[in-house]
Structure 1
Amino acid sequence: MRRGVLLAVLCGSVGLAVGSSFSMTRVAWAAEDGKKAVAKASDDKAVTAKTTAADAAVESAARKAYADKIRATYQFISAGTAEAVYGEGKLSLPGNASIEGNDFIQPSAFPTAEYCGHCHKAAYAQWRQALHSNSFRTPFYRHSVDLLRDEKGIAYTRHCDSCHNPIGVVSGALNPHSTVDRSFDGDGVTCMVCHSIQKVDSKLGNGSYVMGVPAVMVDANGKRITGMVPDAEILAHLDWHSNAVMQKSYQSTEFCSACHKANMPVMMNQYKWIRLFSTYDEWQGSKYSKENPLVFYQADYATCQGCHMKREPISLPDPGAKKGLLASHRWLAGNTAVPFYYGYDEQLKRTEEFLQTGNYLNVDLFGMKVNDAPLVAPLGSVAFTLPPKPTIETYVVIQSKAIGHSLIPEVRDLYEAWVSFKVSDATGKMVYESGYLRTDGTLDPGVHSFTNRPVNSAGEFVDDHKVWTIHSVAYDNTIQSGRSTLVRYRFEVPEGVVWPIMIKAAVEYRHLRQTYLNNVLGPKHPAYPVVEIASRTRTISLGENAVTPARANDNPEWMRWNNVGIGLMDELQYADAATAFEQVVKLRPTYKDGWVNVGLNEIEWEKYADARAPLEKALELAPKDARALYYMALVERRNGNSVAEIADLQEVVRQYPRARDALRELGISYYQGHRPEDAVATFKRLQGVDPDDLTAHYNLAILYRRLGMKAEARLESEEYAMKWIDPAAPTYSLDYLRKHPELSNESVPWHVHAETRAMGSGAGEP
């Protein structure tokens, strides 16, 4: 038999015989049959012989015996009652992980990362320092998941560990009665976790994968061979190895969606369903998916792997490399805390370089209002005169330029990304500052941070990432992919300043939030790295300021106006946004999206009649343009022209069959047009993309009832009631903001930053 297979499958990590209903004698007979079958096989069919029916029976029996023992005391979670039950059930609830055979499997069935590293030395070295290998053991994760374990019980940690510790979930180790050897904890998401996954469901998240029984080889007939096959056999049949561990789906964004999407089910919080994050959905709505016609800018198709697994030269041997290049198994992103904590200097260096050199953001010191005079903009493109002792309000525009998800994605309550805004005079003396670190390492209270503030039912910030206690979100300053945000700063330039002054705006980043670091590590710990992702400086003189040349990374003038228009529109400043978009079409009269933006702003302003002319202009420039047609359909609906409305939306869906907004609006159009069958079909298509869409649940509940489909109507009504926002939730947010007036400014879309550290004040220090 192949090396170590019988020992692994017969022993596992928990004794086989105790509590097993399967006879050891029968296992011994099956094992003997397997040995005889292998002995009779010819040498040139050695690998194929190892997959005889008898051999498979041995492994199946061993797994069944192991699973029977685990199941006897396993605490299942019931989706219906949220109570612990014993007996049959989905092994991963409240997570969504599943495995081939729908039963527990021995941890020893997973070949170790070290085993894979025999040959894949480069991939192994990268993986060891990456987040996947440290997904469970890091104290930053363990702090919050241990709180969950202590408060609700270890069974509920399967919600998190379906992604952070999959072997622990499918082996049944996350159980109050478990005696499973958990030495696998230190390896988190190992090679054979990802490379055993056979299927994912991009609509669910929370570990929505189907894992196959781990296999590093298939035989000549394509049948999977489990266990740790000797290296020599793999090297002799590399194609068989590749067929076992590689699938086309591994290169897709949908593959990553299994874990990079999460919700809080009712069985976890005994409250209601809450979306926690959805990096996949954000990507699907971005310009990189090519599935959404409503994006502000276009780009080539790109997957998660295209950004986070770029091919790079190898310094260690690895047969997975092609022409000396290997898809990076560092998964570079934004986590600087874990490599800093473990001393992974190379991973930390590469992560910082990734953040600094990706051209992900554009920072634009766009304009100024001096003493409440009209806006001077764009800075650098227009000359202006600055009077003595001015009060200046500066417009800083942050563009999410090359990110396929939000800034910040996922657990944004733990990350810190903020705008550092500094004004200094010619001697370097600080005139004004916002977004500085205080002496205790925390951010100043008036900072503009790209974060959110989840709140519990007591109106308190969920500081320890106890996500099962979240009832509301006080504010969320995230920048979605492809959009821009406008941040305003007002300050006075006092007497004694040595001119000229220099204004610098930067986006800085730290993983993790200082108060969370303190919660995990205690108040005394090293300062964690702060990375400047992007910045822009401008020098302003007293008196005359001439036009200055643009820098290499500056956006063209039309785009600067476009970005500030997007920011103003998102802040509900429609009149100013209209002015900005008018400048765009003045500078680029043939730019169809400029005209669409003019029309979109009018629609947001609820001036539908005024939106028609710019949208018609866009369609003259680009007939059948899906973005223009979508917004024109909304204008036609308001005008009562349902035929044109439906025709426009049908064309959008034809071009973009997975466009959520277009499917939603087309379903509404069919509903209002008394076409119930078409409405049902369209809303079901929408649920095929997003099963959590509230509009689909609401309308299907009504439509099904009218069609006499009472059971389906009841199901949709229940889904809607569960996922609809709690009407009391804003009360929890208001309670929090009343208690923290220093943060309430951030909940106002058009807020201005004014109260912070000024020259000589020292204000803001704790």
Structure 2
Amino acid sequence: MRKLSELAKAIRPLSTRAVLPCLLFCAALIFGIKAIHGAGTAGADDPPRDEASVRKAYADKMRPLYAFPFAKDRIALPGNAAVEGGDFLEPTAFPDAKYCGHCHQEAYHQWRQSLHANSFRTPFYRTSVNILMRTKGIEFARHCDSCHNPVGILAGALNKTYPFDRSFDRDGLTCMTCHSIQSVQTKLGNGSFVMGVPAVLVDEKGNRIPGIAPDAEILAHLDRHSKAVMQDFLHKPEFCAACHKANLPPMLNDYKWIRAFTAYDEWQGSKFSQQNPLTFYSADYTPCQGCHMKREAITLPDYGAKQGTLMSHRWPAGNTAVPFYYGFDEQLQKTVDFLESGNYLNVDIFALKSVSDNTMAAPLGSVPVSIKPDELVEAYVVVQNKNIGHSLIPEVRDLYEAWVKFTVKDASGAMVYESGFLKLDGLIDPSAHSFTNRPVDVLGDFVDNHKVWTIHSVAYDNTVQAGRSALVRYQFRIPKDLTGPITITAAVDYRHLRQSYLNNVLGKDHPAYPVIELASRSRTFNIGDNPTSSPLPTDNQDWMRWNNVGIGYLDEQQYEEAMKAFEQVIHLHPDYKDGYINKAIVYIEWEKYDEARAPLETALKLHPDDARALYYLALVERRQRHSEAEVADLEKVVAQYPYSRDARRELGISYYQQHRSDDAMQQFKALQQIDPDDLAAHYNLAVLYRRVGMKKQATDEAAQYTMKRIDPGAPTYSLEFLRMHPEMNRESSPWHVHMDRPQPAVAGQP
């Protein structure tokens, strides 16, 4: 009998609709029951496997071998992965991805090169996890592998004694790990899902049938197949939150609870969730899948496709290192295309300021500017996180690199000034403005190799949250003898991973890993007077340019400059209600509450009952002791945005101050349903519970508050690190200027 591949060639002229049934029929003929059982352990005449008996026998063997150092019968601690029934699940219960690929060829092809498929085996992951296992023990790696290798976790493989084959490691997150999950605990993260026993079919009553089934039976009951492998939450961001949210618990670090990352919370706080009224801009609802699983045309047959398209199972994002390392050229190119699409950031060379007379030309292009030889000037660059649903950089910020590459060149291309270049050894210029962070340990040393269990503090964090903007200043001198034009270019470059980490993992002789330009802008100026110029199609309108620089000033605590910027927004766009609200926000942060009322009232005249304006007006009412108005405003906000953390928190505080204990408790409990880690909720509930005699609940909330609040000694660790790294000390300042003077020597740059 010919092989399946030969048969496929023989029927190639047929249409896709005709080819698929032929392929599936041939597969059944060739592989028989072996194909049905995936692993090939059963023969054609063997009876069906009793899945319940197999699982019980496996669990009975594993239970006495397994170490439970943290809590009895909690398989995954310090991670949160769980399985229905709470017992061990043999790895052969998961049909491998090739089995699913019989019918889902396109999804399998995309998945194989994705980061999900390679989540466990890459040297970039294994390096830090192996250090953890050597340092503390394999049991502690359950924290990481709850997401990176759930099959291994639920099989009990993360144990000193594991007597079975671990070939499942090579596949990381397979089709049936995601498609067997029955529920998620969105608010926990660290692999907070409940896995069902894998099944590809349900019976007539909707009960899951463990194990695999013949392809022909699946095709005959596609509705029952869909019920087995598809859950509504697979299309929702809450599903992604099970792993794209993480913390470092005390059982891992022997210290205290520390937030690691939370792309989900950042998304929920962004304009794309439509759950937060306080964002600077608005947008249509877009879940995680809207960016990372966009539909694309299929190139291989796939029964899951609709009208020739399939939701991407590549999950393109920022990981260029894994496809580069394995030579997955297609995945790498798709990732590069995703990053270079120009949809996510806006870079604006906003202003030039003469240092000598403190005059500023802004916004550039819309106003004339004069440049003199030998003049010391400052360039203002605004980087807007325009269309990313989370921060720049998200998640493991200590490993990713994104920075501003800023150059000034004369007409011949000679460099006048440069910041953010790559040195010969591949490390970034230490004067670069980098969108990253630097975690430190108890000695104030940089936590290298992603040894997260040693983190005690974060020395600085220059990431830009969704919808916000960073203002970066550069100071340089125009050459005395310059006669021709100069060109200023600002770009945001990105590399995965940090060069020093690549060196740690691969040695210093590895090839250069890709550096991707996410966005850029150039402007050319002549010596002397320069008239106005037309904007590019990618430029923001002037009112938005002023708005973005105002946001940058606000985040840098430069309140007077922020106020002037938002006044320009109002001047250019007088019917834009958020211009008035932004002006009020400056007054509030400046603690000028009385002045904040007028612009908020103007915004409410433009848009009555606007939730953003009402929220900030409530803060003004509180300071002016108008308690009833304060509560009324916040109640309107909560009614419009029930998932607003800020509104729930402030309304709870308002009720608390009015001695409405029951109402306050209701708000803080609702806040904990949104964010169980909110410190205000823990603190206030501890007080309120104690007042009404609920001592145990009060003690529990007080313990949570104590565990999750910032360690008062943590800034000491950061200060020691910053003292040893003056170039990063400058970056940790709310605002600073990158100058063309020589930078201090840096030893052991992290």
Structure 1-normalised TM-score? 0.91
Please show how residues 77-156 of structure 1 align to structure 2 within 5 Å: 77-78=69-70, 88-156=72-140
- The CA deviation at 1:755 is 4.3
Correspondence for 1:653 among 638, 641, 659? 638
Correspondence for 1:568 among 553, 559, 580? 553
Contact 1:70 1:172 in 2 (8 A): yes
Any idea what the Cα deviations from partners look like across 1:399-423, whole Å, max 9, x if unmatched?
A: 0110000000000110000000000
- The CA deviation at 1:343 is 0.4
Any idea what the Cα deviations from partners look like across 1:270-311, whole Å, max 9, x if unmatched?
A: 100000000000000000001000000000000111100000
Aligned to 1:741: 726
Aligned to 1:338: 322
- The CA deviation at 1:593 is 0.5
Aligned to 1:84: none
Aligned to 2:375: 390
Contact 2:447 2:455 in 1 (8 A): yes
Does residue 549 in structure 1 map to residue 541 in structure 2? no
Counterpart Cα distance in 2 of 1:498 and 1:164: 58
> Which runs of no fewer than 5 residues in structure 1 stay unpaired?
13-31, 36-49, 80-87
SS at the partner of 1:210? strand
- The CA deviation at 1:6 is 11
Aligned to 2:667: 682
Aligned to 2:24: none
Q: Which letter does structure 2 place at the counterpart of 1:692?
A: D
Does residue 66 in structure 1 map to residue 58 in structure 2? yes
Counterpart Cα distance in 1 of 2:333 and 2:324: 10
Aligned to 1:473: 458
Counterpart Cα distance in 2 of 1:356 and 1:515: 24
Any idea what the Cα deviations from partners look like across 1:309-355, whole Å, max 9, x if unmatched?
A: 00000111001111100101000000000000000011111101101
- The CA deviation at 1:9 is 11
Aligned to 1:46: none
SS at the partner of 2:710? coil
Any idea what the Cα deviations from partners look like across 1:505-537, whole Å, max 9, x if unmatched?
A: 000000000000000001110000000010000
Q: Which letter does structure 2 place at the counterpart of 1:477?
A: N
- The CA deviation at 1:225 is 1.6
Aligned to 2:439: 454
Q: Which letter does structure 1 place at the counterpart of 2:330?
A: E
Contact 2:417 2:740 in 1 (8 A): no
Alpha-carbon spacing, 1:7–1:134, altered in 2? closer, same or farther (3 Å): closer
Aligned to 2:17: none
Any idea what the Cα deviations from partners look like across 1:65-116, whole Å, max 9, x if unmatched?
A: 211111101011315xxxxxxxx42100000000111100110000000111
Does residue 264 in structure 1 map to residue 248 in structure 2? yes
Q: Which letter does structure 2 place at the counterpart of 1:132?
A: H
Structure 2-normalised TM-score? 0.93
Aligned to 1:17: none
Counterpart Cα distance in 1 of 2:520 and 2:39: 57
Counterpart Cα distance in 2 of 1:116 and 1:721: 47
SS at the partner of 1:457? coil
Counterpart Cα distance in 1 of 2:580 and 2:290: 32
Alpha-carbon spacing, 1:670–1:765, altered in 2? closer, same or farther (3 Å): closer
Please show how residues 188-207 of structure 1 align to structure 2 within 5 Å: 188-207=172-191
Aligned residues: 715
SS at the partner of 2:68? strand
SS at the partner of 1:75? coil
Aligned to 1:19: none
Aligned to 1:162: 146
Contact 1:199 1:210 in 2 (8 A): yes
Q: Which letter does structure 2 place at the counterpart of 1:59?
A: E
Counterpart Cα distance in 2 of 1:600 and 1:539: 35
Please show how residues 372-391 of structure 1 align to structure 2 within 5 Å: 372=356, 373-391=358-376
SS at the partner of 1:375? strand
Counterpart Cα distance in 2 of 1:102 and 1:245: 20
- The CA deviation at 1:499 is 2.0
Alpha-carbon spacing, 1:699–1:5, altered in 2? closer, same or farther (3 Å): farther
Counterpart Cα distance in 2 of 1:543 and 1:231: 75
Counterpart Cα distance in 1 of 2:621 and 2:321: 52
Aligned to 1:529: 514
- The CA deviation at 1:463 is 1.2
- The CA deviation at 1:701 is 0.7
Contact 2:484 2:527 in 1 (8 A): yes
Please show how residues 174-185 of structure 1 align to structure 2 within 5 Å: 174-185=158-169
- The CA deviation at 1:651 is 0.2
Correspondence for 1:242 among 207, 226, 231? 226
Cα RMSD (Å): 2.1
Correspondence for 1:296 among 280, 287, 304? 280
Correspondence for 2:171 among 165, 187, 190? 187
SS at the partner of 1:461? coil
Any idea what the Cα deviations from partners look like across 1:605-633, whole Å, max 9, x if unmatched?
A: 11000000000000000000000000000
Alpha-carbon spacing, 1:115–1:388, altered in 2? closer, same or farther (3 Å): same
Q: Which letter does structure 2 place at the counterpart of 1:418?
A: W
Correspondence for 1:280 among 248, 252, 264? 264
Counterpart Cα distance in 2 of 1:348 and 1:60: 42
Counterpart Cα distance in 2 of 1:202 and 1:512: 28
Counterpart Cα distance in 2 of 1:175 and 1:418: 40
Aligned to 1:25: none
- The CA deviation at 1:63 is 1.0
Q: Which letter does structure 1 place at the counterpart of 2:686?
A: A
Alpha-carbon spacing, 1:5–1:356, altered in 2? closer, same or farther (3 Å): closer
Q: Which letter does structure 2 place at the counterpart of 1:369?
A: K
Aligned to 1:617: 602
Counterpart Cα distance in 2 of 1:358 and 1:347: 19
Counterpart Cα distance in 1 of 2:275 and 2:100: 37
For structure 1, which segment, 562-571 or 239-248, has the greater mean C-alpha deviation from structure 2 after superposition?
A: 239-248
Counterpart Cα distance in 2 of 1:684 and 1:99: 27
Counterpart Cα distance in 2 of 1:678 and 1:762: 58
Counterpart Cα distance in 2 of 1:274 and 1:546: 53
- The CA deviation at 1:10 is 13
- The CA deviation at 1:495 is 2.3
SS at the partner of 2:201? strand
Counterpart Cα distance in 2 of 1:708 and 1:756: 64
Alpha-carbon spacing, 1:538–1:9, altered in 2? closer, same or farther (3 Å): closer
SS at the partner of 2:425? coil
> Which runs of no fewer than 5 residues in structure 2 stay unpaired?
1-31
- The CA deviation at 1:212 is 0.6
SS at the partner of 1:263? strand
Contact 2:373 2:482 in 1 (8 A): no
Counterpart Cα distance in 2 of 1:487 and 1:371: 16
Any idea what the Cα deviations from partners look like across 1:663-695, whole Å, max 9, x if unmatched?
A: 000000000111111111110000000000000
Counterpart Cα distance in 1 of 2:426 and 2:60: 52
Contact 2:430 2:727 in 1 (8 A): yes
Aligned to 2:4: none
Q: Which letter does structure 2 place at the counterpart of 1:478?
A: T
Correspondence for 1:326 among 301, 307, 310? 310
Counterpart Cα distance in 1 of 2:624 and 2:606: 23
Q: Which letter does structure 1 place at the counterpart of 2:560?
A: A
Contact 2:120 2:169 in 1 (8 A): yes
Contact 1:490 1:752 in 2 (8 A): yes
Contact 1:432 1:757 in 2 (8 A): no
SS at the partner of 1:63? helix
Correspondence for 1:640 among 625, 631, 634? 625
Correspondence for 2:197 among 210, 213, 217? 213
- The CA deviation at 1:228 is 2.1
Q: Report runs of 4+ in structure 1 exceeding 4 Å deviation.
A: 4-12, 755-758, 761-766
Contact 2:186 2:192 in 1 (8 A): yes
Q: Which letter does structure 2 place at the counterpart of 1:407?
A: L
Contact 1:77 1:94 in 2 (8 A): no
Contact 2:35 2:99 in 1 (8 A): no
